[in-house]
Amino acid sequence: MSGESPRVEVMHGVNLDQLGRRDPLLYGTLTLAELEARIEREAAALGLRTRFFHTNHEGEFIEHLHRLRNGADALLLNPGAWTHYAWAIRDALEIAALPAVEVHLSDVQHREAWRRVSVIGELCFATVSGRGPDGYGEALALLCDELGRGSP
Ligand code: DQA
C-alpha cells in the first residue's frame, strides 16, 4: 500500500443490481446506485477510496477477482446467492489474497438453512449481516482498522 488512501474494491454479485425491486423487508429500498453513493460517502469520511463492480455472471466475478492484483488494498464483497455455493469464487478470493469483509443486507443466519452456509466466510476476516445498508459502513470501519488506519 502506498502513502495514499487505501483502495477498497466493493464487489456486488448476482441479483444485487435488482435492489429497489427486491423484498424491501429483507433488502431495504435503496437501488444499487443509491447504495454505492452512500458507500462512497462513508468510505471517503474514513479516508478510503472505493471502486465498484457488479455482475450477474459468475465467471466475470471470478475474472475480476483475478485482476485485482495491485489494483486494490482490500475487498468488501456481497456475492449474493453465490455466497452459499460458488466454490470457484471462494478459490478466486483465495488467489486475490486481500483483506476481505463479507457483507449481506439481510440476516442470512436467520433465514432459510441454505443461506447459513458461506463458502467465502473462512477467507474473510469479518462478516456483517442483517444490518441493511448500515452494514456496509460497519464493514468499511472494520477494513479501516484492519489496514491500520483506525477510524477517524
Ligand atoms: C444477500 C443474501 C443472499 O442469501 C441472497 O441470495 C442475496 C442477497 C444479502 O445481501 O442479504 O441475493 O447476499
Q: Mind listing the pLDDT tens digit of every residue in the chain (152 residues)?
A: 556 899 999 999 999 999 999 999 999 999 999 999 999 999 999 999 999 999 999 999 999 999 998 899 999 999 999 999 999 999 999 999 999 999 999 999 999 999 999 999 999 999 999 999 999 999 999 999 999 876 55
Any idea which residues carry the catalytic annotation?
27, 104
**Whole-angstrom distance, CA of residue 76 vs CA of residue 65:** 12
How far, in Å, from the CA of 91 to the mean position of ligand 1? 20
Vertex 72, ends 70 and 78: CA angle to 5°?
135
Q: Ligand 1: which of 19, 58, 78 to mutate, most ligand atoms within 8 Å of CB?
A: 78
- pLDDT, residue 4, reads 85
**Ligand 1 pocket by C-beta < 6 Å: which residues?**
15, 78, 80-81, 83, 104-106, 108, 115
**Whole-angstrom distance, CA of residue 139 vs CA of residue 125:** 10
How far, in Å, from the CA of 1 to the mean position of ligand 1? 31
Task: Specify the pairing of strand 126-129 against strand 100-104.
Answer: parallel
pTM of this prediction exceeds 0.75 = yes
